[in-house]
A = this chain, B = another copy of it.
Amino acid sequence: MKPMTIGRLSKAANVKITTIRYYESVGLMGTPDRSESGQRLYGSLDVERLSFIRHARELGFPMDDIRTLIELQTHPSSDCAVVNKIAQNQLGAVRKRLGQLAALERELERMVTSCEGGKVASCQVMASINDHTECSSKDHERIKPL
């Protein structure tokens, strides 16, 4: 039950120290106790919470959603419909992105295979970037990070 410093927490949850402090600053992690000299002190609950955040981030959930999920965890008897909705939205976002990226893959594939070396002036890759009309997916959607 000894409290751990931020460095130990960082290793325990595999999250960088600066990121932990950032999560604290934006309210994802609560404000921890401090030692006499002002160092942050954490317990095993903090490891769990931080690991939860990390996994949620790895799954691509935005921080606002993670805040909601953590808030819901403190009300365990409430309905999980909100949780499920958040996860389904995320799944939808992932699928949409998969579609976009698959289209990009096809187009880039076509480009690189049609380049047979030579001068820039006659390069098919350049031509393909220049000429959007050749493009299979006529209008790409704006690329946003997941």
Q: Tell me the nearest residue of chain B to A84, going by C-beta.
A: B115
B107 near A101: Cβ-Cβ < 8 Å: no
B77 near A121: Cβ-Cβ < 8 Å: yes
Query: In the assembled complex, how far is the CB of residue A122 from the closest CB belonging to chain B, in whole angstroms?
Result: 8
B80 near A94: Cβ-Cβ < 8 Å: no
Contact with B along A58-95 (1 / 0, CB 8 A): 11100000000100110111111101100110110011
Interface centre among A78, A79, A126 (most CB of B within 10 A): A126
- Expressed in whole angstroms, the Cα–Cα distance for A129 and B118 within the complex equals 51
Query: In the assembled complex, how far is the CB of residue A5 from the closest CB belonging to chain B, in whole angstroms?
Result: 23
Partner of A79, one of B56, B69, B109, B120: B120
How many residues of chain A get a CB closer than 8 Å to chain B's CBs? 58
A97 within 8 A of partner (CB): yes
Q: Could you say which residues of chain B place their CB within 8 Å of the CB of A81?
A: 117
Partner of A98, one of B51, B56, B105, B129: B105
Give A contacts to B, CB under 8 Å.
48, 51-52, 55-60, 69, 72-73, 75-81, 83-84, 87-88, 90-91, 94-95, 97-98, 101-102, 104-105, 107-109, 111-112, 115, 117-123, 125-126, 129-130, 132, 135, 140, 142-146
A-B CB proximity, top 8 nearest: A145-B145, A76-B121, A80-B123, A58-B140, A91-B108, A80-B120, A87-B125, A55-B132
